[in-house]
Amino acid sequence: MNQSIKTIIAERRSIKKFNGSPVAKSDVTAILDAAAWAPNHGNREPWRFIVAAESGLNEIRDTMKECTIQKWEEMPADELEKKTAGFKLPGAFVFVIVPEDVRQKERLEDFSAVSALIQNAQLLAWEKGIGTCWKTPVWIDAPKFRQALDVKPGERIVAMLQFGYYDELPKAKARTPIEQKITFFG
């Protein structure tokens, strides 16, 4: 049964507890292909992706663990397990990279476009029964991690999107009534 866009927008949740099932590269590719219809000024398409799915999952998990700021070897085992648990269960990772244009207007337009693309991807994944979570961990800008992903000078990783399957939905949080956010001009 096809759901309306309004329903998908209202029902989508950020999934933080995945069940460990892998997400196929073909599903991630199809989602990104459709998401790339996001509006972008001048049709610059200011994005590129590093995707870790299927055979790339263990390698990216090891890379993330190695590149985090924490000193893992000095951490108690139970704390280490807690800190790295989020690396183990997503079924795919997508790192979204955008150029950092030196012109402020273009940089903001590009960031806005890539944000729209990310929202599109989250909605498209949800429609397929795949949960997502947009994360920006502190270590995402660490030189060692940027080097591991071959992120060039003048580029920025704006998101680590986790994709995966889940067994339970988080509860919806209350939203402020929109009337409290609108001021009509005139």
41 annotated ligand-binding residue: yes
Helices (H), 55-165: 57-67, 77-88, 104-127, 143-148
Q: Is 26 within any annotated ligand binding site?
A: no
13 is in an annotated binding site: yes
What's the token pair of residue 38?
């996001």
pLDDT 10s digit of each residue in the chain, 186 long? 578 889 999 899 999 999 999 999 999 999 999 999 999 999 999 999 999 999 888 888 888 877 765 555 666 777 766 666 667 789 999 999 999 999 999 999 999 999 999 999 999 999 999 999 999 988 888 888 899 999 999 999 999 999 999 999 888 888 999 999 999 998
Which pTM value belongs to this model?
A: 0.88
For domain 15-167, the CATH architecture is: 3-Layer(aba) Sandwich (3.40)
Task: Give the residue extent of every domain in the chain.
Answer: 15-167
134 annotated as ligand-binding? yes
Confirm whether residue 61 is marked as ligand binding.
no
